[in-house]
Amino acid sequence: MTVASLAILDTSVYIDNLRSGRFKQEILALKFIVRCSAVVLAELSRGARSVEMRRFVDGLAKNLRVIAPTEREWIESGKIICHLIAERGYDVNKTREIHFDVLIALTARRIGAYLITCNSKDFLAIQRYVGFELICW
């Protein structure tokens, strides 16, 4: 019996696909069971200006199992952000932005999921501090 692998799609994949259909075929061909990060849902909800986008986000929340960061992951994320700031000199805006990415990576690691993104630069930086499976489109 084969155990199916899990995957979490990063916000960047959803947004790029919604704007251009860029990843339609890749998403349809996924051989993973997709889980949705609560952080990704929050990011998508924050930017959902249209009725269609709000429906899309609501559909994700309704149809996919949503995985949220734990208290320990929130604490660990702060420590990782501190390292990234020291290493890369991120400003306040970049720090806020990448903090969500760290939480997504920590959640993916916990459930043993691949994290699929088109934001390779930030997730490769995070991967120096968090061991997780990464697929960059």
Q: What is the pLDDT of residues 9-33, one digit of tens each?
A: 999 999 999 889 999 999 999 999 9
Split at pLDDT 50, 70, 90, the class of 4 is low
Q: Is the pLDDT of residue 6 over 70?
A: yes
**Cβ(111)–Cβ(92) under 8 Å?**
no
**Average pLDDT of 115-128?**
97
pLDDT at 2: 53
Q: What does the block give as tokens for 120?
A: 């390779």
Q: What does the block give as tokens for 58?
A: 């609501």
- CATH topology for 5-136 is Rossmann fold (3.40.50)
**Cβ(126)–Cβ(103) under 8 Å?**
no
**Average pLDDT of 60-87?**
97
Nearest to 101 by CA among 63, 128, 64, 62: 128
Q: Name the E strands within 3-132.
A: 5-9, 32-37, 66-67, 113-117
Percent of the chain with pLDDT strictly greater than 90: 94
Nearest to 36 by CA among 4, 53, 3, 14: 14
Q: What is the pTM of this model?
A: 0.92
Split at pLDDT 50, 70, 90, the class of 3 is low
> What average pLDDT does the structure give for the chain?
95
Q: What is the pLDDT of residues 50-73, one digit of tens each?
A: 999 999 999 999 999 999 999 999
**Cβ(78)–Cβ(96) under 8 Å?**
no
Residue at token pair 């155990």: 3
**Average pLDDT of 99-120?**
97
| Integer Cα distance of 71 and 77 in angstroms | 10
